[in-house]
């Protein structure tokens, strides 16, 4: 590979994670770092350096986004790689009009369903429809201020006399692609897919395509190492309940836009399907925190109390402030801080308020899918107690099995509130909840 930063006599080796630069003569590491990161900003976490060049003898173009993490030895420098892409021939990123996502997670999200079978006449015949009949419009998302069209399709690949494979892909069409835009598309699509699947271990093969007179042509590939999961991707069979492409349709693009704008936060953990079904103490903290965040977004004014309740709060606050006036300054400050927390409603109260104020048609399905009694006046007490015990280092007063229904209630509430926040109508949100459950 030849590179604009590197002198003659240097060689490269990429092992899938680390780009190592070897040189024949000892080079001052400081000079090498200044060359690689001469355009980098020290005050941001943006791109730290792009090493690019052509691979011999195939003449393929390869570019590596490298971080500032490096290991320097006598005759080599090992650089951490954040992402890389390869383009074939004389193609540039500006020629790429489509990013095509493939993988087991995509096969799960958009399975081949248009199959016809015939076992008559002593033969077993499977008829698969054409690709055009298996394309699902996922809408138009906004990434970095520009519109991109998203679709999913299922297709089959036939290996003569060997086998037939059913595969799926998500296609994102765009104009004038650059690295920052490519990275944002990758992250947003991955986050939206994790949301729909209900698990964190998604992984892709991303194929870069250009539009030609004969149709879409493979022109390269993109790999984001920061998006790789520690838990391997997996295929979900038809018996697993989650939101698939035909369920969500063009609302998928609303999720992609929301993740790109950071209206929604993506999954932080890489967890398998089996892991996602388990309740653990850290998950209780994470789930209750997510609910509190969504509650503040959906109900920014907080819990609106009745006149009688508000009068009680006002009297309590006044009594605390009156008592503070007769105390030394340090004690006065403590009581004033306490007065600010008079209306600091508990997690339990917020759960019941959300169940009361969300649309009734939505709440009825949430209660049904969570196996809880919506009229229970202490709804949310167990998981609130569990959260508080964990946060304060106390021995939990309930077992994890005791909070199973309320745990699922919060999962469904968070799911619904996120859908409503991105503008998905109530009826569609209910339909998606039923698919997930």
The DSSP annotation for 209-233 comes to EEEETTEEEEEEEEEEGGG--SSPP
Measured CA to CA, the distance from residue 261 to residue 249 in angstroms comes to 20
pLDDT at residue number 389: 95
Q: For residues 221, 223, 227 and 232, what is the CA-based torsion angle, rounded to 10 degrees?
A: 90
At residue 309 the predicted structure's pLDDT band, cuts being 50, 70 and 90, is confident
Contact status, residue 179 vs residue 139, Cβ threshold 8 Å? no
**What pLDDT score was predicted for residue 227?**
63
- Name the residue with tokens 């003659």: 8
Q: Which helix (H) or strand (E) holds 282?
A: helix 281-298
d(CA 52, CA 4): 8
**Residue 2: per-residue pLDDT:** 38
Question: Are the beta carbons of 242 and 193 closer than 8 angstroms?
Answer: no
The crossing angle, in degrees rounded to 10, of helices 381-391 and 347-357 is 150
Name the band, by pLDDT with cuts 50, 70 and 90, for residue 317.
confident
Which of 348, 410, 408 lies closest to 382, judged by CA? 348
What are the tokens at 437?
A: 């459950």
- Maximum mean pLDDT: which of 1-5, 128-132, 383-387: 383-387
C-alpha–C-alpha distance, residues 199 and 216, integer Å: 31
Q: Give the N- to C-terminal CA distance of the chain in Å, as an integer.
A: 51
Residue 415 CB contacts under 8 Å (≥ 6 apart), including other chains: 432, 433, 436
How far apart are alpha carbons 412 and 198 in whole angstroms?
11
Which H helix or E strand runs over 51?
A: strand 50-55
* pLDDT for res 51: 83
pLDDT at 395 over 60: yes
pTM of the model: 0.83
Nearest C-alpha neighbor of 347 from the set 293, 399, 305: 293
State residue 48's pLDDT score: 60
Per-residue pLDDT, 396: 93
C-alpha–C-alpha distance, residues 240 and 247, integer Å: 14
- Report the alpha-carbon distance of residue 372 to residue 361 in Å, rounded: 15
pLDDT in tens, 227-259: 666 788 999 988 899 999 999 999 999 999 999
What are the pLDDT digits (tens) for 1-52?
Answer: 434 444 455 677 888 888 887 776 665 656 556 555 554 444 444 446 888 8
Give the Cα separation of 211 and 318 in Å (integer). 71
CB 291 within 8 Å of CB 413: yes
What b-and-e string marks burial along 15-37, b requiring 16 or more CB atoms within 10 Å of the CB?
eeebbebebeeebeeeebbeebb
* Residue-level pLDDT at 265: 87
pLDDT tens-digit profile of 349-382? 999 999 999 999 999 999 999 999 998 989 999 9
């Amino acid at each position: 590979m030849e590179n604009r930063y590197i002198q003659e006599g240097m060689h490269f080796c990429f092992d899938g994670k680390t780009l190592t630069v070897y040189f024949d003569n000892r080079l001052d590491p400081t000079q090498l770092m200044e060359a690689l990161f001469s355009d980098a900003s020290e005050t941001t976490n943006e791109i730290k350096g792009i090493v690019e060049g052509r691979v011999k003898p195939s003449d393929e173009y390869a570019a590596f986004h490298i971080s500032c993490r490096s290991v320097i030895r006598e005759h080599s420098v090992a650089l951490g790689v954040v992402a890389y892409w390869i383009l074939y021939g004389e193609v540039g990123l500006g020629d790429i009009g489509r990013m095509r996502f493939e993988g087991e997670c995509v096969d799960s999200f958009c399975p081949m369903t248009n199959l016809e079978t015939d076992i008559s006449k002593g033969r077993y015949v499977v008829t698969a429809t054409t690709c055009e009949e298996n394309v699902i419009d996922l809408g138009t998302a906004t990434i970095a201020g520009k519109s991109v069209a998203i679709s999913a399709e299922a297709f089959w690949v036939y290996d003569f006399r060997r086998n037939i494979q059913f595969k799926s892909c998500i296609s994102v069409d765009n104009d004038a692609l650059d690295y920052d835009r490519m990275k944002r598309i990758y992250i947003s699509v991955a986050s939206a897919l994790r949301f729909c699947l209900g698990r964190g271990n998604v992984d892709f093969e991303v194929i870069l395509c250009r539009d030609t007179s004969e149709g879409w042509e493979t022109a390269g590939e993109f790999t984001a190492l920061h998006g790789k999961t520690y838990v391997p991707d997996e295929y979900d069979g038809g018996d697993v309940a989650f939101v698939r492409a035909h369920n969500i349709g063009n609302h998928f693009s609303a999720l992609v836009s929301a993740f790109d704008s950071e209206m929604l936060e993506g999954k932080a953990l890489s967890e398998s399907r089996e892991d996602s079904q388990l309740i653990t103490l850290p998950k209780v903290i994470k789930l209750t925190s997510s609910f509190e965040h969504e509650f503040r977004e959906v109900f920014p004014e907080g819990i609106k109390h009745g006149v009688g309740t508000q009068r009680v709060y006002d009297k309590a606050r006044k009594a605390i402030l009156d008592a503070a006036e007769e105390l030394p300054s340090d004690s006065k400050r403590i009581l004033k801080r306490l007065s600010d927390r008079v209306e600091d409603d508990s997690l339990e109260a917020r759960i019941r308020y959300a169940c009361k104020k969300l649309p009734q048609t939505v709440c009825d399905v949430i209660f049904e899918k969570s196996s809880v009694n919506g009229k229970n006046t202490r709804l949310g007490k167990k998981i609130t107690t569990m959260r508080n015990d964990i946060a304060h280092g106390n021995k939990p007063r309930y077992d994890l099995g005791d909070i199973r229904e309320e745990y699922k209630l919060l999962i469904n509430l968070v799911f619904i509130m996120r859908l409503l926040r991105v503008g998905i109508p109530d009826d569609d949100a209910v339909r998606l909840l039923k698919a997930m459950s």
